[in-house]
């Protein structure tokens, strides 16, 4: 798999998102959940497996469709902050995205930096993270 | 733009389709309409323009959304059989697709060959083209 092929594919099918969930058991009262995801139908599951092998991290999840007439979707997800920091982010810094997903990626990196610097433990930092996170979660669904 | 980036992006967002329309003014009574399309939202329109520059052919069309709250979609389309034959097909032969779109591309090339050989002018050839065309037209819509 060529590295630029991967960037092109992720420009098309990838997503860098950050979710913020309430979680009273954490110091900040919330859990911040950065995620890199690439989605494909069953027919291109092998491509997701190749991506997983290439990056050497992440898992593939099956999303069952309610409509049985359509093929199931599969999601290659990297959720480990360590893997995101050490494998995913350096790759896309070396082979930059071309579409508007480049902005999503920059926001994603900014949030990762803020988590690393414990900014999410201050109310101001958490507010900024929430605002940045909201920009990465546009609803993108294929029917 | 790196060539492998383009293949990766087209593996994600591209489509090779063949449509068959009734048209009494043609010899075969039908018009066969092969098309290479890449679709993006307004925010990545520049990427489509870069693709158009790279291939040196094709046009960009705007698809207005009925829902005004969503950004308009843009389609980079190559419909000229000459451009498909001389520019698009040779590119994807040199930089092959990785996902299930590789099969779509092979079917597309087969139909293009059959048109070139005038196979669509015989009932048997036209039947095969219709069957091949049907496999390239799965409904793929983003909501």
SS3 category, B13? helix
pLDDT of chain B, 143 residues: tens digit per residue: 899 999 999 999 999 999 998 888 988 888 899 999 999 999 899 999 999 999 999 999 998 776 666 778 999 999 999 999 999 999 999 999 999 999 999 999 999 999 999 998 899 999 999 999 888 765 443 32
* In a domain? residue A57: yes
Domain interval for residue B68? 3-135
Chain A residues within 8 A of B101 when measuring between CB atoms: 44
CA distance A108 to A98: 16
Supply the CATH number for residue B38's domain: 3.10.28.10
CA angle, residues B37, B43, B46, in degrees to nearest 5? 60
- Tokens 């930089």 belong to which residue? B95
Residue linked to tokens 């693709």: B51
Q: What percent of chain A has pLDDT over 70?
A: 92
CB contact under 8 Å between A41 and B100, yes or no, is: yes
% of residues, chain A, pLDDT over 90? 70
Alpha carbon distance B45, B79 (integer Å): 19
A46-68 burial: b if 16+ Cβ within 10 Å, else e: ebbebbbeebebbeeeeeeeeee
Cα of B15 to nearest chain A Cα, Å: 12
Q: What ipTM is given for this predicted complex?
A: 0.85
Contact A13 B10 (CB under 8 A): no
Q: Per the domain annotation, does A80 fall within a domain?
A: yes
Interface test with B, best of A4, A41, A48, A67 (most B CBs within 10 A): A4
Distance CA A6, CA A51 (A): 8
Tell me, yes or no, if A50 comes closer than 8 A to chain B by beta carbon: yes
* A142 in any annotated domain: no
Residue A141 included in any domain: no
Q: What burial class does residue A128 get, using C-beta atoms within 10 Å of its C-beta: 0-12 exposed, 13-18 middle, 19+ buried?
A: middle
pLDDT computed for residue A139 by the predictor: 47
Q: What would the two tokens of residue B78 be? A: 């190559």
Question: Tens of pLDDT along A35-72?
Answer: 999 999 998 999 999 999 999 999 999 987 766 667 78
Q: What is the distance between the alpha carbons of residues A40 and A84, in angstroms, rounded to a whole number?
A: 20
The SS3 of residue B48 is helix
B28 φ, ψ to 5°?
Answer: -80, -10
- Report if residue B28 sits inside a domain: yes
Q: How many domains does chain A have?
A: 1
Distance (Å) from the C-alpha of residue A91 to the closest C-alpha of chain B?
14
Q: Is residue B143 part of a domain?
A: no
Kindly state whether residue A143 falls inside one of the protein's structural domains.
no
Q: Is B33 contained in some domain?
A: yes
Q: What is the pLDDT averaged over residues A81-93?
A: 97
Residues of B in contact with A40 (CB under 8 A): 99
| Residue A26: predicted pLDDT | 85
Report pLDDT for B143: 29
B9 to chain A: nearest residue by CA? A8
Cβ <8 Å between B98 and A7? no
pLDDT tops 50 at residue A17: yes
Chain A CB contacts of B13 under 8 Å are: 11-13
């Amino acid at each position: 798999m060529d590295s630029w092929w991967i960037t092109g594919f992720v420009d098309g099918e990838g997503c860098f998102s950050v979710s913020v969930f309430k979680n009273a058991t954490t110091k900040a009262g919330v859990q911040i959940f950065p995620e890199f995801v690439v989605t494909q139908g069953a027919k291109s599951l092998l491509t997701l497996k190749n991506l997983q092998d290439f990056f050497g991290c992440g898992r593939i999840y099956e999303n069952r469709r309610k409509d049985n007439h359509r093929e199931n979707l599969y999601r290659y997800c990297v959720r480990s902050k360590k893997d995101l920091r050490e494998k995913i982010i350096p790759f896309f810094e070396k082979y930059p995205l071309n579409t508007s997903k480049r902005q999503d990626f920059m926001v994603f990196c900014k949030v990762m930096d803020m988590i690393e610097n414990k900014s999410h433990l201050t109310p101001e930092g958490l507010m900024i993270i929430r605002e940045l996170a909201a920009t990465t979660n546009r609803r993108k669904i294929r029917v």
